Amino acid sequence: MPNANDDHQPTPPASAAPEQLSVAQHRAVSELLRVSPVADDLARRFQKAGFSLALVGGSVRDALLGRLGNDLDFTTDARPEDVLAIVRPWADAVWEVGIAFGTVGCQKKTRDGGVTRSFQVEVTTYRSEAYDRTSRKPEVSYGDSVEQDLVRRDFTVNAMAVALPEKTFIDPHGGLEDLARRVLRTPAGPEASFSDDPLRMMRAARFAAQLDFTVADDVLGAMKAMADRIDIVSAERVREELNKLLLSASPVTGIRLLVETGLADRVLPEIPAMRLERDEHHRHKDVYEHSLTVLEQAIGLEEDGPDLTLRLAALLHDIGKPRTRRFEPDGRVSFHHHEVVGAKMTKKRMTALKYSNEMVKDVSRLVELHLRFHGYGTGEWTDSAVRRYVRDAGPLLQRLHKLTRSDCTTRNKRKAGALARAYDGLEERIGRLQEQEQLDAIRPDLDGNDIMTVLELGPGPVVGKAYKHLLELRLEHGPMERDQAVAALKEWWAAQS
C-alpha cells in the first residue's frame, strides 16, 4: 500500500554471519518438510484453481527459528470467496470470522506414521490496511502481489514468504538477516508502518519479550514519537497484545520498552506511575523495579505453564502505593491501605481494557490480599485467623501463596530467610487444618434446610443471618458436632427475640 514516505527506505541491515543464516535455513528446511503434506496439498489446490499460495509471516519466521507449530499462515491472490470455494471441500472445519479482513480460517487433520495431527490454517488475501486519525478499525484493501503484501507487514522478520508448492523463498526486505541478528526493523519506514497500524508499537515490545530481539534505533524513536497514536486502537486489541507480552518468556523486557517509549502511559499508566522519585531525605524502594522483580519471581514459581492471572497480580500488586504514599515525621515512608486502593485501581484499569469479569475479580482480589500474610509475624495467628485466610483466598489460595512469596525482594538474606520460614510455617498449618477440617470448602455445620427445620422457619432473610452466624462460629472454633451446632443455633435464635 502506498505511504506518504514511500521514498524513505530503511537502512539495510549489517550482513549476518553466513553460519547464522545457514543454521536458520537448515531449521526452516526441517520445519517445512514436517508440514509439507498439508501445505503442499493446499497449494496444489490453489494452483489448480489458477491462484498462488505462500506460507507467510510468523509461520516463516518460526520455521527459521525452529519453532513452527501447527498454526499455519498463508497468503494468496485469491479473493475470500475463492478461498472459501477451495478450502471447503478440503478442510475438516471452516470459519469465516475474519472474512471482513480477507481471512478465512480452517482446520485440517492429517495422519503421519499412525499419529493424527491437527493444523489450524489461516489464508489471507494479499492486502494492505491502515488507520485514519479517528478510526479504531483498520481500512482493508486487497493487493495484487505477494511483494505488495509483504511491505505492509509489521517487521522484516515477519515479511518473508515461501511460495508453494515450489518452495521459493521470498525476502525483499532482508528479514532473514534481521532474524539472524535478532533485531526488529520495519519493511517500510517505521513512521509509515506505525501510522498504518499503531498496535505494531506494542507488538515490537511483545516480540522483544517473546523472541529476545532488540528494537532498531529508528523503530524505537518512532515508538516514542508516536506513542499517542495507540489511543485509537480498541481496548480489546490492546488487551490481547498485552496478554501476549505478559505470557511471553521475558515479559519484563517488554514492559520496560512500553514504559521507556511512553506507550505504557497510554495503555497501563499505573505502571510508570510506580517510578517513585528518591531524594536524600526520603530513601525508599523504587516500587516500579520492585514490581518487575516480583513478576520475575512469580514466573519462577509457576508449575503448569504461564499463568496470566498470577502475572497480572504480580505486576499490579503495588499500583496503589503512589496514591497512598505519605512521608512520616520520623523520615519513614508509608503506604497505608495501598492494597485496598490498589485493588480498586486494578479493577478500574482491567475493566477499561475489557478483561472478563472473572479475571478482573481474581486479579483485584489477589492485589487486595497480598499483604494479609504480613500480619502473621512468627506464627501468632490463631487457627481462626488461618481459616479466614483460606476462606478469603478461596480458589486463589495457591496463587496467593506464590504472590506472597514473590513479594519478598529484600537483599537482606536474614530477613528474606525469616519471611520464607514464616510462610513455610503458615502453609504447614493450612495443610494440617485442611486435613482435619476440609478448609477448601468451609461452610457451617448446618445448611439452610437444617436451619429452617430447627427454627421452624420458611425461606427468608433470617435464614441467611443464621447461616452467617454459624459460619462465623465455624471459622472461629472449627467444626462442631451436629448437636453442638443445633444448640448454638437455638442459643442465637433465643437472643434475637
Q: Measured between alpha carbons, how far is 264 from 272 in angstroms, rounded to an integer?
A: 7
Look at residue 441 in the predicted model and tell me its pLDDT.
58
Q: Which segments of the chain have a pLDDT < 50?
A: 1-18, 279-284
C-alpha dist (Å) from residue 189 to 4, 62, 133, 151, 193: 10, 24, 18, 10, 6
Q: Measured between alpha carbons, how far is 478 from 433 in angstroms, rounded to an integer?
A: 9
Contact 471, 478 (CB under 8 A): no
The Cβ of residue 459 has, within 10 Å, a number of other Cβ atoms equal to 10
Q: Measured between alpha carbons, how far is 163 from 75 in angstroms, rounded to an integer?
A: 9
Q: What is the DSSP letter of 158?
A: G
Look at residue 28 in the predicted model and tell me its pLDDT.
67
Look at residue 68 in the predicted model and tell me its pLDDT.
85
For 139-170, b/e burial (b = at least 16 CB within 10 A) is: eeeebeebeebbbbbbbbbbbbbbbbbebeeb
Look at residue 19 in the predicted model and tell me its pLDDT.
54
**CA angle at residue 288 from 286 to 289, to 5 degrees?**
70
Q: Measured between alpha carbons, how far is 481 from 239 in angstroms, rounded to an integer?
A: 50
Cis omega before residue 459 (within 30°)?
no
Look at residue 377 in the predicted model and tell me its pLDDT.
64
Radius of gyration of the chain (CA): 29
What residues have CB less than 8 Å from 330, skipping those under 6 apart? none
Tell me the three cell numbers of residue 255.
514492559
Look at residue 260 in the predicted model and tell me its pLDDT.
97
DSSP, collapsed to helix, strand or coil, labels residue 83 as helix
Distance of CA 89 to the CA centre of its chain: 36
Cell 472478563 belongs to 356
Look at residue 420 in the predicted model and tell me its pLDDT.
83
Q: Measured between alpha carbons, how far is 261 from 223 in angstroms, rounded to an integer?
A: 6
Look at residue 21 in the predicted model and tell me its pLDDT.
53
